[in-house]
């Protein structure tokens, strides 16, 4: 994270911080939707409409990420784990726990809460979008809801990859913790899968770049670098004895 807070607020008792790096991803999503997604699904509409819908889609994505992290935070708080705050930054969001979960069950439930919220949001947007389209209320609004359905399902599935520090990696650590009875060993194994996944994502990014998909390729590569560094950092905190 960049460490430069753009603005902050409180929601449901949690401190929410928006890192300045979030401006980049917000602008990128708006541009991508306005120049590619909406022109492909709404070819008969003006450029201004596409840009307005792009901004609306980016705002919906912002809310989706925030609710994803709120899911983690609410479950953690219910287990008595304090939340130092939620930060949204260029690579998504993170809910900072005051301390580690006390047992595998807590780890599993806190980690699974985020993807569950994303799945539920996806189903909600799908249902509302279907009703809007069927009623003929607004074709542009239905297109935005369709995008939010897709992005939430993708967000949920991506986060369930068993690679630390993704939510799936934390779920994987909970399972290993239950089996090994050793939090440190479980963390090292989960971090190894995280680094392996990061290498695979880097390779995918390079392949994408060589095939002319420069933005998506670079984005995959940068995400992979972030995941690799995060996994390597957490593994260093639990060296093999």
Catalytic annotation present for 107? no
| Burial of 225: CB neighbours in 10 Å, binned 0-12, 13-18, 19+ | middle
Q: Which two tokens stand for residue 108?
A: 């599993």
Which residue among 8, 69, 96, 107 is the active-site one?
69
Type and span of the H or E element at 77: helix 47-78
Report yes or no: 15 and 73 within 8 Å, Cβ to Cβ: no
37 closest CA partner among 61, 18, 19: 61
| Residue 230 CB-density burial (10 A; 0-12 exposed, 13-18 middle, 19+ buried) | buried
Catalytic amino acids? 69
């Amino acid at each position: 994270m960049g460490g430069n807070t753009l603005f902050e607020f409180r929601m449901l008792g949690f401190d929410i911080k928006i890192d300045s790096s979030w401006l980049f991803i917000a602008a990128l999503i708006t541009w991508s939707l306005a120049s590619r997604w909406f022109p492909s699904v709404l070819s008969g509409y003006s450029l201004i409409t596409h840009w307005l819908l792009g901004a609306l889609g980016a705002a919906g994505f912002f809310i989706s990420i925030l609710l994803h992290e709120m899911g983690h935070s609410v479950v953690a708080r219910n287990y008595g784990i304090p939340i130092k705050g939620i930060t949204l930054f260029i690579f998504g969001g993170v809910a900072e726990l005051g301390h580690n979960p006390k047992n595998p069950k807590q780890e599993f439930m806190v980690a699974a809460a985020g993807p569950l919220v994303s799945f539920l949001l996806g189903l909600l947007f799908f249902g509302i979008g279907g009703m809007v389209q069927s009623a003929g209320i607004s074709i542009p609004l239905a297109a935005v809801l369709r995008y939010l359905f897709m992005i939430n399902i993708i967000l949920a599935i991506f986060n369930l990859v068993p690679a630390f520090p993704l939510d799936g990696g934390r779920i994987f650590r909970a399972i290993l913790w239950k089996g090994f009875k050793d939090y440190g060993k479980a963390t090292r194994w989960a971090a190894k899968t995280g680094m392996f996944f990061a290498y695979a994502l880097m390779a995918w990014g390079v392949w994408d770049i060589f095939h002319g998909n420069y933005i998506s390729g670079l984005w995959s590569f940068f995400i992979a670098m972030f995941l690799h560094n995060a996994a390597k950092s957490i593994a260093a905190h639990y060296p093999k004895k």
